[in-house]
Structure 1
């Protein structure tokens, strides 16, 4: 398997994990159901993409993208990072389980979500960037993807292509609805309402599955690389 195929194999699951983030999806739905959706929707989506690109680029630069590449056979550093990320994902999964809502309990939302229906574009842009770049779960996922790209001994153009794939897939659940709204407008409202209800009802299950799978994957790769 080529280095590019290996990198993409590691990037795709993390990108899907980013895309299946219930809270940001609920946020974009609320924004698109507001009176300023035409401006705040694209702003939120732009902020989301910006956050992913910034975090991934910083990791690539720090690790040594294009100039200094870690060789798994000569260094245990990548495996140690994967092991650490596996622990982080396991802790995040445990935290989701600990904070799971009780049966028949009404869905609760963070305080900032109540401001989305009257949000201005700059606020929407900032929230989008924070949710993609600073949110602990997405931050860990983006670091995981960027590490996979940086340690795969790729050509710079392949690194850029891998990064684009990660951002594109990780943004599809946010950018997709925002773009669709620009074409169909308020006709999307029934679909958005159903999507919001689904994400609220299955938030815990989605997060547990995604985080648990990523924890097992990274722990396995990390331990295997350190003892192999």
Structure 2
């Protein structure tokens, strides 16, 4: 189980560093119903990652490991290889599209409407940004495949997935914790975080896409070459 946790830590950290979802929850916290909206966004984020990871585990089952050598099955290597190529390509595209001057970076237009979103829409937004995100979805699927390939019992698989989800949620949970526990001081802290994430979103995503894509490529090649 310890090896399985080690295999998913880097992937979880990659999910946790998600500038746009962090900006989104900060904007949700700034609404009149900030406590409710922020909590719903964080809950939806956790649910989205857990559901996607659980689906991957159900599909992989205990067949992610070879029955003879306890090595990851070939399909796990092929999946990681494909996801690695996908992320690396996304990284290259994101790097080309990033603004030369970070001060010219613009947030997506839908973010301007967060203050008018109902709690149900906030929850749906959290689900989309976790389970349907171009970076987070491949990383969560790769984590599920890694857990499935570890050859551990189902209860331990669930435990490792829980660890992954907790670590992967730290990025969005941090603003919520600041809002809940820092009172009036939270406004200044969250404003600084929001501005930094908005300015550097493109560059951060490009580097994460590329580095994590290379990691998955390496993992996939190692499994297929074994």
Same fold by TM-score greater than 0.5: yes
Name the count of aligned residue pairs.
223
TM-score where L is the length of structure 1? 0.91
TM-score where L is the length of structure 2? 0.92
1:75–1:29 distance in 2 versus 1, CA, 3 Å: closer
Deviations 1:127-179 (A, max 9, x none): 00100001121100100111100111012221111111111011111123223
Residue 8 of structure 1: which of 5, 17, 31 is its match? 5
1:106 aligns with 2:76: no
Q: How does 1:163-174 map to 2 (within 5 A)?
A: 163-174=161-172
Whether the 8 Å contact between 2:83 and 2:142 is mirrored in structure 1 is yes
Deviations 1:54-77 (A, max 9, x none): 10011110111xx43432648421
Cα deviation for residue 187 of structure 1 reads 2.7
Match of 2:77 in 1: 79
Deviations 1:9-59 (A, max 9, x none): 221111111110000001111111222202111011111111101100111
Match of 1:119 in 2: 117
1:176–1:73 distance in 2 versus 1, CA, 3 Å: closer
Match of 1:197 in 2: 195
Cα deviation for residue 224 of structure 1 reads 2.2
Residue 26 of structure 2: which of 26, 29, 34 is its match? 29
Cα deviation for residue 180 of structure 1 reads 3.4
Whether the 8 Å contact between 1:35 and 1:118 is mirrored in structure 2 is no
Output the CA distance in 2 between the equivalents of 1:12 and 1:170: 9
Output the CA distance in 2 between the equivalents of 1:166 and 1:104: 31
1:75–1:163 distance in 2 versus 1, CA, 3 Å: closer
* CA-based RMSD: 1.7
Q: How does 1:87-106 map to 2 (within 5 A)?
A: 87-103=85-101, 105-106=103-104
Cα deviation for residue 100 of structure 1 reads 0.6
- The gaps in structure 2 that reach 5 residues or longer are none
Moved more, 154-163 or 177-186: 177-186
Output the CA distance in 2 between the equivalents of 1:179 and 1:75: 40
1:39–1:97 distance in 2 versus 1, CA, 3 Å: same
- The gaps in structure 1 that reach 5 residues or longer are none
Moved more, 175-184 or 122-131: 175-184
Whether the 8 Å contact between 1:89 and 1:215 is mirrored in structure 2 is yes
